[in-house]
């Protein structure tokens, strides 16, 4: 389980990592930890899944691409098959099972705006199920921090 | 111009999309694999941050593993004329992490046009927050629902499709 130091570290790591030669040493200095301790704690948290990923967060929209939230109503007896088929698309950045008739919700990230509709169509062909697209019309706020 | 400008942003993204190596000098390690200097890679990453292509270099936490077991996507059918004003109020609430206006899909039984993600330690806490949102929306809201997440099926961030 995570200790208080891990929690402190995970909060710090949700902010930007410095672009210096030894960024983990810098983070450690802020928190009173050694570079080796920071590195081994991050490794351990990746291992246990407390951190799913560590690295740059790309914004495909700023690179001329697009994001889109999509959903499928998957019959329960087909869920595992459809999950494997959908997850196999590299354009699927995250995918959640939710408690609703529309029970699979995923985010597509594509290198071009046209890529969203194209990918949604390919997923429909692959799964045989309708993909509903919910592109954002307005964004009201993005909070990056979570309570750790 | 140095010879290293031949290395495209695409190659840099491909080298970083799986994550940054957790080693003492991570930029030097990635730069070595790309055949460029650490300083040049850092300059390129800095430029991508300036352009917005990279938002930040950070950890993606798993809320479940952190004990935040309840994660509800609340969805609301809000009067179109009021969605901008009310969306801004909902988005400003401290417990709402993401808030968007999205198109309805009425023919699919989906009348909702405002999405607000709410995290909490317990389902009761999420329900209380949902009631708070309902109170703010008042009569402008014609229906709402909450979709709890049951499972993370995938969480990788961006993956470029291989070219060629």
Confidence grade of residue B159 (pLDDT, cut at 50, 70, 90): low
* A residues 80-139 lying closer than 8 A (beta carbon) to B: 83, 86-87, 90-102, 104-106, 109, 111, 130, 132, 134-139
Give the residue, B79 or A148, on which the prediction is more confident. B79
Question: Is residue B3 pLDDT above 50, yes or no?
Answer: no
Question: Which of B44-58, B64-78, B137-151 has the lowest average pLDDT?
Answer: B64-78
Global pTM exceeds 0.80? no
The residues spanned by each domain of chain A are 4-48, 60-134
In sequence order, what are the beta bridge partners of B73?
B117, B147
- Helix axes of B26-34 and B9-16: crossing angle, nearest 10 degrees: 130
Q: Encode pLDDT of A94-123 as tens digits.
A: 899 999 999 999 999 998 999 999 999 999
pLDDT at A25: 98
DSSP-derived secondary structure for B27-81: HHHHHHHHTS-HHHHHHHHHHHHHHTSEEEEEEEE-TTTTT--EEEEEEEEE-GG
Question: ipTM of this model?
Answer: 0.74
Contacts of B23 in chain A (CB under 8 A): 39
A46 to chain B, any CB pair closer than 8 A? The answer is: yes
Class of CATH domain A60-134: alpha beta
**Tens digit of pLDDT for each residue in B80-134?**
999 999 999 999 888 887 899 999 999 989 999 999 999 888 889 999 999 999 9
CATH code for the part of the protein at B70-148 = 3.30.70.920
Closest listed residue to residue A45, CA positions, set B28, B75, B61, B41:
B61
| CA pair distance A128, B150, nearest whole angstrom | 23
Indicate whether A146 pLDDT > 60: no
Q: In this predicted structure, what is the pLDDT of residue A15?
A: 86
């Amino acid at each position: 389980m995570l200790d208080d130091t891990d929690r402190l570290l995970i909060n710090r790591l949700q902010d930007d990592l410095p672009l210096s030669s030894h960024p983990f040493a810098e983070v450690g200095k802020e928190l009173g930890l050694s570079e080796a301790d920071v590195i081994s704690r991050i490794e351990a948290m990746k291992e246990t899944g407390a951190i799913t990923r560590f690295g740059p967060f790309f914004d495909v929209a700023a690179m001329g691409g697009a994001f889109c939230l999509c959903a499928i109503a998957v019959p329960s007896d087909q869920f595992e098959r459809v999950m494997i088929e959908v997850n196999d698309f590299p354009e699927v950045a995250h995918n959640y099972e939710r408690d609703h008739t529309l029970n699979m919700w995923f985010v597509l990230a594509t290198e071009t705006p046209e890529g969203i509709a194209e990918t949604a169509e390919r997923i429909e062909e692959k799964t045989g199920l309708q993909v509903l697209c919910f592109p954002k019309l307005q964004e009201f706020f993005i909070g990056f921090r979570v309570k750790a | 111009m140095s010879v290293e400008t031949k290395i495209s942003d695409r190659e840099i993204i491909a080298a970083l999309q799986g994550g940054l190596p957790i080693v003492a000098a991570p930029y030097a390690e990635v730069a070595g694999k790309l055949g460029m200097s650490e300083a040049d890679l850092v300059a390129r990453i800095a430029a991508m941050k300036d352009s917005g292509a990279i938002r930040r270099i950070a950890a993606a936490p798993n809320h479940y593993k952190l004990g935040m077991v309840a994660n509800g996507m609340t969805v609301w059918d809000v009067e179109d004329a009021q969605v901008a004003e009310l969306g801004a109020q909902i988005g400003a609430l401290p417990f709402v992490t993401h808030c968007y206006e999205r198109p309805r899909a009425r023919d699919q039984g989906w009348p909702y046009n405002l999405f607000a993600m709410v995290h909490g330690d317990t389902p009761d806490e999420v329900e209380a927050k949902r009631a708070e949102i309902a109170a703010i929306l008042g009569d402008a809201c014609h229906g709402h629902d909450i979709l709890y997440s049951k499972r993370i099926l995938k969480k990788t961030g961006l993956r470029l499709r291989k070219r060629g």
